[in-house]
Structure 1
Amino acid sequence: MLKKTIKSISLFAGFVFVNQALAANSDKYPEFSWDTMPLYMHVWKHTSYTKDELNYLAQFPLITIEKAQGKKEGTIQAGTLKAAREIKQINPNSKILYYKNIIIDWHSGASQALASIPNGYLQAANGDYPVVNEQSKAKFFDISKAEVQQWWLKDAKAMVSDAAIDGLFIDANIKVLIGYYFAKSKKLGEPKADALIAGYHELLGKINEQFGQDNIILGNIIRARFANAGLEYMEYFDGSYFEGFEHNVGGISKPDYLVKGIEAGQKAAQAGKILAFTAGLGKALKQDSSGIGLDEARQKVDSIQHIQKRLDYLTAIFLVMAEKYSYFYPHDGFGVRTNNKGEQLNRAWMRTFPLFKNRLGAPKGPAKRTGYIFTREFEYCSVYLNVETGEARLTWK
């Protein structure tokens, strides 16, 4: 049955009251503790992980294994299952999510079956198949078609049926829901863009019906660029990953955009939803892979010694929003890759920042806001955040 999306913050407020109790009693949720910073992991590697890497990964209560896992050794599905099973052998309590894009075919083991569906890929009026970008050449599948929806669900079912997979990470929701990405940027026209939005709601309803009871459904969905910052779609998800959190669009100032995003995160977290707050440590790039500011776009970190100010700022944003089932990952990209000298290109990989070892303790209450300034008290940390000046202070006790 197709679910109705929630159209306003006021309606969402009633929804969250109901779901907070459900989240608290659900054993499908990850382990959580306020003892130190609660952390999330989002990662891919073209090959298998080493023993040391697996031991590192097994420390995280919530892990998403990304879309390129194991591609040099076989299919993404096989690579994901191999990594998940090995992590579970070390820590059976880690919750591991299988990455599935809602509309992009990232050349996985399911691509051959998709190619056999008549008109399964989106195609422009001139016969061209739009692609994500010229580097990847990844095409889009048509979720307005029932056969494509069943193809998507079949692959998801095969993966979550494995004991090592605890749910789904659903990406690219925004590319469908803002409409003009497909209508104009990909030149498919408004009628097709509208059909994709309708197909999206049908598919998310089926995902919830088939998998929601026993599996975590995490979406890349909270974005201040939505009318209600993505809260209007949260009924489909157990929580949200964060991307493009600081990239203001639509004429709104960056401080106001950040306030809107933070307050949406607070509402979702207070409802018992999972927050997987990720943000890049490097400098922001002017243009991302979508060309219209839909994807995270940051430079690689030159030196881990020069990121403390940025790290404190991101940590403060997270702590202002965080409740039970909130997790944090400041990153330098998600890939585990080396250069031709064997040097790791991901500066944050296999690294536990010193502040993550500090005692944190439970919050003493929600954050307080005065204009663009947020403050919050934890048992062992005082948080100050000014999103207008970009200033943050963490005072550890």
Structure 2
Amino acid sequence: MKKLLKISLALLLPSTVLVSAAHNVPFDWDTVPVYAHLANMSDDFTPEQLDFLAENFDLITIEKGHAKRKHGSTEKGFALAVEEIKKRNPEAKVLFYWNSTIKIGGYDAIDDFPPGGELLSKDGELLRIFNSTFSDLSQPEVQRWWSDTASRAVHELGADGVFIDAIGKFSNHSRRKVLTPEKIEALNNGLCAMVEETRRQVGSSSILIQNGVSMDPENVGARLLQVTDGAMKEHFVSAKPGKKEALAEDIEVLQAIAKSGKLLAIKAWPGFDWRDQEIMQKSREERVQMARAAITFPLACYLLVAEPYSYFCYTWSYQGNDTGTFVTYPEFDKPLGPPMGDAQRNGWKYTRDFVHASVFVDLDTWSASIDWK
């Protein structure tokens, strides 16, 4: 396992790290650097929510479908949200969510989707996922449509860059059953060419963040990291115990990526999410209390890997008024200071010191402590 991991890391990291557009994002170690990722399909953010976002976050992705039920499209809702956030915090960087492989509705851009551009299986059947279809990225017309839409988000809607979702969808087990290896290769090559063209159109000062650092055989995550400014690790850690081996591998991978100079948005969970119906039927205040009580382990794991331009995201959902974004945590207000060195590992135990905090994590017992100084 260790040998394979080292090989994967060597493939994953860019051979040359250039000055990144991500470094235009405000960053400091004064307190825990945090990242927001959310939307509300039904309505605009309220003035109070906009105030909270502007005051607490310098890096924000506005998810698909924001305010589309009110304004008719994601683009219209997004543009208004960006304008209001920038009024309150001109330094904030706001990213446009754009799924790289799934043809998601609710965008004005869907009206211009190329005819015949949807992905078919090797048997000629239309492939579906989440009540949507896939884009056939082996077609140059589909690539141009996607890149042109991303470019308009930057040049016309006020986005500071693009959050590129779903980069590994063509290489997963389900797709391998219904697509030929040759088609998967063509799709992934098309994806990489599409992102390269997007970079050309939006320029070096715009931020491109990919969702995922996939270790699939096609190595799509590593290829895209040559072009993008960084990545989101969407399912890094939960307060609910999991497999220590998998988390240890994630920690090692993210440490290496962060040290390479790439931006990281590290998504952690409080032990539940929007799919847990029993918990979601509780009051919001109960969810807030549960999340506050569970934050130490996810936050401590983030602190093991954090480098400049590593941001922490801790919520239980992405959509609606109850995502967990608009929650205050005492830990986010405590002085942190820069790290005093790298994390140290002894078996399944890790330690790391910051100027104002000492971190301890035990993966064997799925426990942690943060001693705030």
| 1:359–1:66 Cα change, 3 Å | same
| 1:383–1:202 Cα change, 3 Å | same
1:86 is the counterpart of 2:80? no
2:34 to 34, 39, 42: 39
Q: For residues 79 and 40 of structure 2, what CA distance do their matches in structure 1 show?
A: 13
The offset of 1:299, in angstroms, is 6.4
TM-superposition CA deviations, 1:47-71 (whole Å, max 9, x none): 1111111111112110000011111
Residue number in structure 2 paired with 1:15: 15
1:382 is the counterpart of 2:358? yes
TM-superposition CA deviations, 1:139-164 (whole Å, max 9, x none): 11111000000111111111111373
Q: Which amino acid aligns with 1:9?
A: L
| 1:36–1:155 Cα change, 3 Å | same
| 1:317–1:214 Cα change, 3 Å | same
Residue number in structure 2 paired with 1:307: 291
| 1:10–1:131 Cα change, 3 Å | closer
Q: Which amino acid aligns with 2:250?
A: G
Q: Is the 8 A contact 1:41 1:63 kept in 2?
A: yes
Q: Percent of aligned pairs with the same residue?
A: 32
Residue number in structure 2 paired with 1:120: 117
Residue number in structure 1 paired with 2:260: 271
Residue number in structure 2 paired with 1:69: 66
Q: Larger strand proportion, structure 1 or 2?
A: 2
Aligned residues between the structures = 356
Residue number in structure 2 paired with 1:237: 228
Q: Is the 8 A contact 2:67 2:77 kept in 1?
A: yes
Residue number in structure 1 paired with 2:194: 203
The offset of 1:307, in angstroms, is 3.2
Residue number in structure 2 paired with 1:325: 309
Residue number in structure 2 paired with 1:360: 336
Q: Which amino acid aligns with 2:49?
A: E
Q: Is the 8 A contact 2:235 2:267 kept in 1?
A: no
2:211 to 186, 211, 220: 220
Q: For residues 350 and 363 of structure 1, what CA distance do their matches in structure 2 show?
A: 27
| 1:29–1:301 Cα change, 3 Å | farther
Q: Which amino acid aligns with 2:330?
A: P
Residue number in structure 1 paired with 2:319: 335
2:49 to 34, 53, 58: 53
| 1:109–1:300 Cα change, 3 Å | same
2:249 to 251, 260, 263: 260
Cα RMSD for the two superposed structures: 2.8
Q: Is the 8 A contact 2:22 2:230 kept in 1?
A: no
Q: For residues 122 and 67 of structure 1, what CA distance do their matches in structure 2 show?
A: 21
Q: For residues 278 and 347 of structure 2, what CA distance do their matches in structure 1 show?
A: 28
| 1:320–1:233 Cα change, 3 Å | same
Q: For residues 339 and 65 of structure 2, what CA distance do their matches in structure 1 show?
A: 37
Q: For residues 383 and 109 of structure 1, what CA distance do their matches in structure 2 show?
A: 47
Q: What TM-score do the two structures reach when normalised by structure 1?
A: 0.82
The offset of 1:130, in angstroms, is 1.8
